């Protein structure tokens, strides 16, 4: 178990800057998730830590040791790959024992460790099989087993669940979380799926184009995103964004636009009078019960699409050119073509600078 | 009705395919069968009309060649020349191919292409310069010279083949091994190499075949004691006549090992040669 630090780490492939000035302090026993759209440099960051990719500049530390030039084998880490990367010519037992054999553990010790890890993951009955005789979920378990059997300082996982079907993914998500509570090994987990990130991470690192956008706990990311990218990335369905202008009127501040949108905010935004901003509101912060909402925060809309998910309903509505998604609990109460009034929660909104995309609420 | 029609058409197609295959098989096998049978007959029996397919075989021709002639020596020369060049080509080709597939340096593609381009040279064009070089180093007439000559053609071929096989292997497994505690060499040797084994076997057979069947190099570079079987076979056709019995027996000895080797590793050969094709 150990801490991990990235200090001003950069990575270029030729002229392409793939990771730009990554700074990150990961605590001992932490489960940290790197999340971001595909191609944003998550895997590259992880592979630099594993020693599979050279660092263009900066330092990486595991514990107090600088590992920039250390061979992967000497870093005492374990990695789970997206496509599992099991050794196809070895059976499950040998796959899991490979690292222990290289480290010259005794045969009885190896057997004990492999059996222990296999029991934790429920794959004792598969030890004699070759990887090609396993299902996707079983391969996944073997790949995790191969990682935990060595009791490394740090686990690295690169989209380990993305090849599983949806149901299995949800199940494995919970199992991995449980495994981490049990083993307490520092874990760095890469995914492009914000749900995985939100459900698993102690802290989440949101990346875009090789740049860290925000490092925060799931609830902080959800409640106070740094910028419009994080706001739109975290949460499903994604936050609604409405372009508008700040207008002071009778000592109050409104956000208005040409589609007839008008929203009263309690924030003064004095510097922004008459300037363009982006208003954001999450689908779950919209309701159709307008009784308690000031009428300045209500909006008349037309219902375009109704999605009934059983426990909740997604309503795709529009006014003027603007489309908005709303999320209500329970069965749908409206049908397509209806004109309804929706209430935008007057307290839970986000405002971003139109140019920089940064949040104006901090 | 429709179903019946389909069945008829299927049967016709079947019959046509089988006929074509039979013709191709007879076309390919008849000369070989005829040669092998002839090598087991006396010279008189060989030309009897109509040809006999059932007869009492005699090994007198083989016995004569090995006991009275130098045939054992020639067979030995062939085995050493073809075997050594194959081993050298596979060994260096595997390392080189891995380096080209996994290495990350400038001009990699150009180097790879230059290497395979040397294999594209017609043998006839290479013989004269090689002869001059060999003459300088006193390699003419030696089996070692022949090994060098075969290797100049087999090595680029083996290197290119092995490079292709390694390049098609996802590198993640080697990476997993290195994170697991393997050195680069252990990852190569224990993870990558076993997976390209079919390719390695297929490449080996093709190298062996090239050297074993070669006549051009051997006829120029070997001397009396170092000649290989194909050269020895050609000498059976002399001004005074053709030693038919020995020619047939020699041909059989040339073909047989390759057929047996091919059959033995057929599984790998097909998998190796189609490694890139099916994925
Ligand atoms: N070996 C490489 N050579 C050149 N470019 C690469 C290499 N590996 C990754 N890249 C590029 O770096 C960027 C980040 O890749 P990666 O870290 O794999 O993204 P992610 O894992 O976030 O999807 C991508 O644009 C990708 O094309
Ligand atoms: Mg990736």
Q: What is the arithmetic mean of pLDDT over A20-49?
A: 95
B276 or B225: whose pLDDT is higher? B225
Tell me the average pLDDT of chain B.
87
3-state SS assignment for residue B4: helix
Mean per-residue pLDDT for A170-194? 93
- Chain A: residue whose CA lies nearest to B174: A85
Residue B169 and residue B194 share a domain:
yes
Contact B198, B271 (CB under 8 A): yes
CATH 3.40.50.300, domain A4-233, yes or no: yes
Cβ neighbours of A188 in B, within 8 Å: none
The 10s digit of each residue's pLDDT in B32-60 is 888 888 888 887 777 777 777 778 888 88
From A97's Cα to the closest Cα of chain B, the distance in A is 10
Weakest-pLDDT range from A174-178, A188-192, A306-310, B242-246: B242-246
Task: Indicate whether B267 and B231 sit together in one domain.
Answer: yes
Task: Inform me whether the C-beta atom of residue B243 falls under 8 Å from chain A C-beta atoms.
Answer: no
Among protein residues, the one with the nearest Cα to ligand 1's atom 1 is A13
Helix then strand then coil, in percent of chain A rounded to 5, is 30, 35, 35
For residues A42 and A65, give the distance between their C-alpha atoms in angstroms, rounded to a whole number.
Answer: 22
B16 and B52 in a single domain? The answer is yes
Q: What is the pLDDT of residues A299-355, one digit of tens each?
A: 889 999 999 998 999 999 999 889 999 999 888 888 899 899 999 998 899 999 999
Q: What is the pLDDT of residue B278?
A: 41
| Burial class of residue A114, CB neighbours in 10 A (0-12, 13-18, 19+) | buried
Q: Which of A215, A216, A166, A224 is nearest to A195 (CA)?
A: A166
Exposed, middle or buried: residue A234 (CB in 10 Å: 0-12, 13-18, 19+)?
A: buried
Whether B50 and B157 share a structural domain: no
Min mean pLDDT across A322-326, B21-25, B264-268 is at B264-268
Is B182 found in the same domain as B121? Answer: yes
Please report which confidence band the pLDDT of residue B4 belongs to, taking 50, 70 and 90 as the band edges: low
Out of A134-143, A283-292, B2-11, give the one with best mean pLDDT: A134-143
Q: Which residue has the tokens 């191709």?
A: B24
Residues B180 and B242 in one domain: yes
Ranges A81-95, B73-87, B100-114: which has the least confidence: B100-114
Share of chain B above pLDDT 70, in %: 96
Cα of A193 vs centre of ligand 2, distance in Å, is 11
Q: How far apart are CA A157 and CA A35, in angstroms?
A: 12
- Residues B186, B98, single domain; the answer is yes
Q: List residues near ligand 1 (CB under 6 A).
A: A 13, 18, 36, 38-44
**Residue A103 pLDDT exceeds 50:** yes
Domain endpoint, select from B58, B88, B106: B58
Same domain, B86 and B121: yes
- Spatial separation of the C-alpha atoms in residues A321 and A202, rounded to whole Å: 39
* One domain for residues B117 and B250: yes
**Burial of residue A141 (number of CB atoms within 10 Å: 0-12, 13-18, 19+):** buried
pLDDT > 90 in chain A, percent: 77
Over 80: is that where the pLDDT of A292 sits?
Answer: no
* Contact yes or no for A72 and B178 at CB 8 A: yes
Partner residues linked to A10 by β-bridges: A57
B176 contacts in A (CB within 8 Å)? 79, 81, 85-87, 146
Pairing of the two strands A65-66 and A298-308: unpaired
What residue in A sits closest to B106 (Cα-Cα)? Answer: A14
- Together in a domain, B216 and B173: yes
Q: Of B13, B34, B58, at which residue does a domain stop?
A: B58
Atom of ligand 1 at shortest distance to CA of A158? Answer: 21
Q: Determine the residue among A85, A132, A143 to mutate to test chain B binding: the one whose Cβ has the most chain B Cβ atoms within 10 Å.
A: A85
Tell me how close the Cα of B263 comes to any Cα of chain A, in angstroms: 24
**Most confident listed range (A102-111, A263-272, B237-246):** A102-111
Characterize the bridge pairing of strands A77-80 and A65-66.
unpaired
Same domain, B30 and B105: no
Residues on chain A touching B191 (C-beta within 8 angstroms): 87
Q: How many domains does chain B have?
A: 2
- Which range marks the domain in which residue B73 is found? 67-275
> What is this structure's pTM?
0.85
Asked whether the predicted pLDDT for residue B173 surpasses 90, the reply is yes
Chain B residues close to A73, C-beta within 8 Å = 178-183
Tokens of A236: 């499903």
Whether A271 has its CB under 8 Å from any CB of chain B: the answer is no
Q: By the 8 A CB rule, do B93 and B118 touch?
A: no
Residue among A6, A13, A16 whose CB has most ligand 1 atoms within 8 A, to mutate: A13
Half-sphere exposure of A314 (CA within 13 A, CB side): 14
Q: Which residues 137-196 of B are in CB contact (within 8 Å) with A? A: 170, 172-173, 175-183, 186, 191, 194-195
Q: Point out the least confidently predicted range of A88-102, A260-274, B154-168.
A: A260-274
In this predicted structure, the answer to whether residue A260 has a pLDDT above a threshold of 90 is no
The average pLDDT across A236-244 equals 94
Q: What residues does each domain of chain A span?
A: 4-233, 255-353
CB half-sphere exposure, A82, CA atoms < 13 A: 13
Distance linking the first and last C-alpha atoms of chain B:
40
Residue B201 has pLDDT above 70, yes or no: yes
What is the C-alpha separation between B251 and B249, in angstroms, rounded?
5
Query: Would you identify the CATH topology of the domain A255-353?
Result: OB fold (Dihydrolipoamide Acetyltransferase, E2P) (2.40.50)
The whole-angstrom separation of Cα B174 and Cα B102 is: 10
Q: To test ligand 1's pocket by mutation, which of A44, A54, A207 has the most ligand atoms within 8 angstroms of CB? A: A44
Q: Is B4 on the interface with A (CB under 8 A)?
A: no
From the alpha carbon of A210, which atom of ligand 1 is closest? 14
Q: How confident is the model at residue B62 (pLDDT cuts 50, 70, 90)?
A: confident
Q: Tell me: the pLDDT tens digits for B232-259?
A: 888 888 777 788 888 888 889 888 888 8
* Distance separating alpha carbons of residues B216 and A107, to the nearest angstrom: 56
Say yes or no to pLDDT of B279 above 70: no
Q: In angstroms, rounded to a whole number, what is the distance separating the alpha carbons of residues A216 and A71?
A: 31
Predicted local confidence at residue B275, as pLDDT: 64
Cβ distance of B175 and A81 shorter than 8 Å: yes
Contact residues, B window 31-60, toward A, CB-based 8 Å cutoff: none
Of B39, B58, B77, the domain-final residue = B58
Beta carbons of B215 and B192 less than 8 angstroms apart: no
User: What is the length of chain B?
Assistant: 279
Residue A75 and residue A62 in contact, taking contact as beta carbons nearer than 8 Å: yes
């Amino acid at each position: 178990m150990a801490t991990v630090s990235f200090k001003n780490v950069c990575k270029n492939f030729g002229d392409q800057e793939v990771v730009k000035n990554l700074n990150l302090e990961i605590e001992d026993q932490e489960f940290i998730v790197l999340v971001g759209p595909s191609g944003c440099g998550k895997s590259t960051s992880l592979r630099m830590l594993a020693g599979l990719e050279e660092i263009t500049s900066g330092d990486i530390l595991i514990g107090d040791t600088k590992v920039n030039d250390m061979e992967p084998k000497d870093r005492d880490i374990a990695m789970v790959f997206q496509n599992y990367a099991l050794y196809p010519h070895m059976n499950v037992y040998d796959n899991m024992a490979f690292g222990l054999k290289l480290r010259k553990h005794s045969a009885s010790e190896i057997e004990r460790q492999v059996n222990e890890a296999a029991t934790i993951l429920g794959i004792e009955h598969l030890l004699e099989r070759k990887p090609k005789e396993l299902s996707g979920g079983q391969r996944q378990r073997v790949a995790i087993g191969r990682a935990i059997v060595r009791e490394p300082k740090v686990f690295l996982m690169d989209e380990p669940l993305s090849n599983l079907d949806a149901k299995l993914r949800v199940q494995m998500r919970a199992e991995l979380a449980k495994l981490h509570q049990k083993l307490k090994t520092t874990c760095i987990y890469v995914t492009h799926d914000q749900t995985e990130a939100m459900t698993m991470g102690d802290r989440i690192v949101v990346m875009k184009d090789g740049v860290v956008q925000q490092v925060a706990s799931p609830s902080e990311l959800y409640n106070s995103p740094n910028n419009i990218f994080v706001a739109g990335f975290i949460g499903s369905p994604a936050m609604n964004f409405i372009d508008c202008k700040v207008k002071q009127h009778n000592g109050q501040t409104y956000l208005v636009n040409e589609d007839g949108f008008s929203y009263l905010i309690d924030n003064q935004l004095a510097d922004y009078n008459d300037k363009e901003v982006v208003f954001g509101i999450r689908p779950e912060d919209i309701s159709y019960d307008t009784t308690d909402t000031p009428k300045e925060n209500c909006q008349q809309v037309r219902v375009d699409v109704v999605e009934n998910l059983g426990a909740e309903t997604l309503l795709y509505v529009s006014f003027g050119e603007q489309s908005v998604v709303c999320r209500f609990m329970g069965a749908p109460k409206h049908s397509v073509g209806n004109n309804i009034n929706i209430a935008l929660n007057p307290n839970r909104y986000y405002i971003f600078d139109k140019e920089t995309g940064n949040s104006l609420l901090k | 009705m429709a179903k019946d029609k389909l069945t008829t058409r299927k049967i016709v197609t079947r019959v046509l395919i089988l006929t074509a295959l039979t013709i191709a098989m007879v076309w390919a096998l008849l000369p070989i069968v005829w040669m092998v049978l002839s090598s087991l007959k006396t010279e008189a029996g060989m030309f009897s009309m109509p040809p006999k397919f059932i007869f009492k075989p005699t090994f007198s021709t083989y016995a004569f060649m090995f006991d009275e002639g130098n045939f054992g020596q020639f067979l030995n020369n062939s085995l050493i020349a073809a075997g050594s060049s194959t081993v050298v080509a596979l060994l260096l080709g595997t390392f080189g191919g891995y380096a080209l597939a996994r290495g990350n340096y400038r001009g990699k593609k150009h180097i790879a292409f230059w290497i395979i381009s040397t294999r594209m040279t017609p043998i006839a064009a290479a013989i004269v310069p090689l002869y001059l070089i060999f003459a300088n180093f006193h390699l003419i007439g030696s089996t070692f010279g022949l090994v060098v000559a075969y290797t100049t053609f087999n090595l680029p071929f083996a290197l290119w083949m092995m490079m292709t096989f390694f390049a098609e292997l996802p590198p993640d497994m080697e990476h997993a091994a290195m994170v697991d505690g393997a050195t680069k060499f252990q990852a190569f040797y224990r993870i990558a190499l076993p997976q390209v084994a079919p390719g390695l076997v297929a490449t080996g057979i093709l190298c062996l075949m090239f050297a074993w069947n070669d006549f051009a190099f051997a006829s120029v570079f070997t001397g009396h004691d170092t000649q290989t079987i194909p050269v020895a076979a050609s000498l059976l056709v002399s001004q005074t006549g053709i030693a038919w019995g020995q020619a047939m027996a020699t041909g059989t000895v040339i073909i047989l090992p390759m057929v047996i080797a091919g059959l033995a590793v057929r599984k790998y050969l097909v998998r190796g040669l189609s490694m890139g094709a099916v994925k």
